[in-house]
Amino acid sequence: MNRLAHAASPYLLQHATNPVDWWQWGDDAFAEARRSDRPVLLSIGYAACHWCHVMAHESFEDPATAAVMNELFVNIKVDREERPDIDHVYMSALHSLGEQGGWPLTMFLDSDGAPFWGGTYFPPSDRYGRPGFVSVLRRIAAIHGGDRSRIRHNAEAIRAALARAEPGTQAAEPGEPDLDGLAQAIAGRFDPELGGLTGAPKFPNPGLIELLWRRGARPGGEAALERARIALTRMAQGGIQDHLGGGFARYAVDERWLVPHFEKMLYDNAQLLPLYALAWRDTGDPLMREAAEGIVAWLEREMTVEGGAFAASLDADSEGEEGRYYVWTPQELVAALGEADAALLARYYDVTANGNWEGRSILNRLDGPDPTPEEAQRLVAIRARLLAHRAQRVPPGLDDKVLADWNGLAIAGLARAAGLLERPDWLAMAETAFRYVDESMADGDGLCHARRGERRIAPGFALDHAAMADAAMALHDATGARHYLAAAQRWSAHLDRYYCEESGLLRMTRGDEAGSGAVILPAIPRPTHDDAVPNANGIHAQVLLRLAAATGRQADRQRADAFLAALLRAAMPMPMAHASALNAYDLARNGVELVIAGPERAHFRQAALRLPSLGLMIADAGEAGALPPDHPAAAMLARAGAGAAFICRHGRCLPPVTDPNRLAEAVASA
């Protein structure tokens, strides 16, 4: 019996009609494994995953394959976006076996949940150098039935490997990272012509781009800044960007950014948005502004759900084909636009008779000429018409669940981009989404992780609280509203109470009994490294620094310093995997605190929000000018007059800036 029909997850619902006797993750599934003396087949994926769909069509929808699965295994389906803790533990287990990893994740467990073997995608029969799925099933079941000692040996070896991989077991000695040296080394791994890390596939890696941009803000960082700009430029020109509807796909399968893996994820676009806004404010390059505006247009048009929050993802596939929704032939352009406009768009967006991908064309600007100003204006209208025509196609599937962590990333990105591009409508979008998560996803003084309709996944994970606290700080900087500061403080305290361990770092899941869940995972997920999303520890470190700047309290500064020191010890053995931690350290070392005071201080806030800087932290001393007495600017507030800004770094504050138009110059020279 398939038990997925009442699941909340769109991914699980995709499998609700499979002939496989799927279970959801829970005690009852493992009890059945013990009762029937069968191993567990755990399949993890997500709604937008192309190869998950392929394996589903080839194997899970096939009655003969399903019959073998049902006879030999207890089969559990998990949405990795709903349960990132389960995904992290079993993906780590696969890595311990020397496998690269990916989705769908296919793991074999004993009846206590201990993994003993696994892989990713398996074809229905032997091909691609991989064994066929049914052959694998029969072999694993035979070993389980006849050689339990081998199963126990593998399970114990994996368990030991998971324990060795925990943060702290290889922690570095305390000491300050060489930020300049690390950034230069990372810049050396970025392609100087094609952008991004060399080779293929190419992922956006926004955390690394941010690190390079931060290095570029300091003397001697020109090479790092250039690598960051090239990466953003080539992505915006490439097929990885949707040149009609806006937004970026998950990654490019080639080294030129031409051919995307067409799924669109909220978290990628949330992280890229403020970088493109920053790049436009810094360079004035219209390509950067168009990329930022395209992301927000996509969020508003296709990703906003009831209540104003944002959906998780758009599928790579439509009508059973990857990318079908997004690619074109010359004949399709003519039918949609007419001969003249089709020819103009084809010239500048690489649409040819033979196509650039499987006989059709992915729109891109990688190698084409630049249009004249008049042609560029025409192309704006042509793209809008073609977008309207594309909307008549069968769209990719939307995973409309709301995830607190990904929404936090999007809200923070919108709030920061709104200031850089002076878009109050974007700020309003961010505030609406924040209100939905704060009110509709509350779980005591914390948050749940996911919501779809009235179904919720609770309690939330560390990243839910860290990302939403960062969103609250971004909105506090943008608006000065005190309730955002209070929300950030509440979620930060919640992390300290329920997620912080003796090491001083955060675990992924709650550490108290109320948050543990019934099924015990074979390892406690304690990652510190970034994945496709930044790690909760890295974001939390930045939140603590921003909170300390906002309150001016020494206790908050000491708390931020202690947490960052613990994080750096865990990060330094693998610095490139810890961009969020290094970006937090850069904020601590090179950030600028901006204290605004006086009745007209809002003018200084707006001027600060327009600055192309990743290191500004705003403290609002209020109309009367009030700070803790030991704050270095406290004694100077009487000089604020009608309004002023005090630039502070490392316990030293400069004389007040009394003209908002002089703020950029003053910050640059601080």
Mean pLDDT of the chain: 94
Q: What is the pLDDT of residue 249?
A: 98
- Give domain status of residue 170, yes or no: no
CA distance 122 to 129: 10
Where does a domain end: 343, 365, 392? 392
Where does a domain end: 392, 416, 444? 392
CA distance 40 to 386: 48
Domains identified in the chain, total number: 4
Cα torsion through 532, 534, 536, 540, rounded to 10: -170
Are 557 and 595 part of one and the same domain? no
Could you tell me if 405 and 469 are in contact, meaning their C-beta atoms sit under 8 angstroms apart?
Answer: no
- Give domain status of residue 26, yes or no: yes
Host domain of residue 352: 326-392
The 10s digit of each residue's pLDDT in 74-101 is 999 999 999 999 999 999 999 999 888 8
Are 638 and 549 part of one and the same domain? no
Are 376 and 467 part of one and the same domain? no
- Give domain status of residue 3, yes or no: no
Q: What is the pLDDT of residue 174?
A: 58
Are 544 and 602 part of one and the same domain? no
Residue 10 dihedral angles phi and psi, to the nearest 5°: -60, -30
Amino acid at 273: L
Are 583 and 596 part of one and the same domain? no
Could you tell me if 609 and 530 are in contact, meaning their C-beta atoms sit under 8 angstroms apart?
Answer: no
Could you tell me if 595 and 657 are in contact, meaning their C-beta atoms sit under 8 angstroms apart?
Answer: no
Where does a domain end: 339, 361, 392? 392
CA distance 92 to 107: 11
Are 303 and 221 part of one and the same domain? yes
- The answer to whether residue 169 scores a pLDDT higher than 50 is no
- Give domain status of residue 4, yes or no: no
Are 409 and 473 part of one and the same domain? yes
Are 403 and 488 part of one and the same domain? yes
Are 139 and 186 part of one and the same domain? no
- Give domain status of residue 424, yes or no: yes
Full-model pTM: 0.96
Mean per-residue pLDDT for 582-604?
A: 96
CATH number at residue 241: 1.50.10.10
Are 193 and 311 part of one and the same domain? yes
- Give domain status of residue 174, yes or no: no
Are 290 and 349 part of one and the same domain? no
- Give domain status of residue 172, yes or no: no
Are 596 and 555 part of one and the same domain? no
- Give domain status of residue 487, yes or no: yes
The 10s digit of each residue's pLDDT in 272-298 is 999 999 999 999 999 999 999 999 999
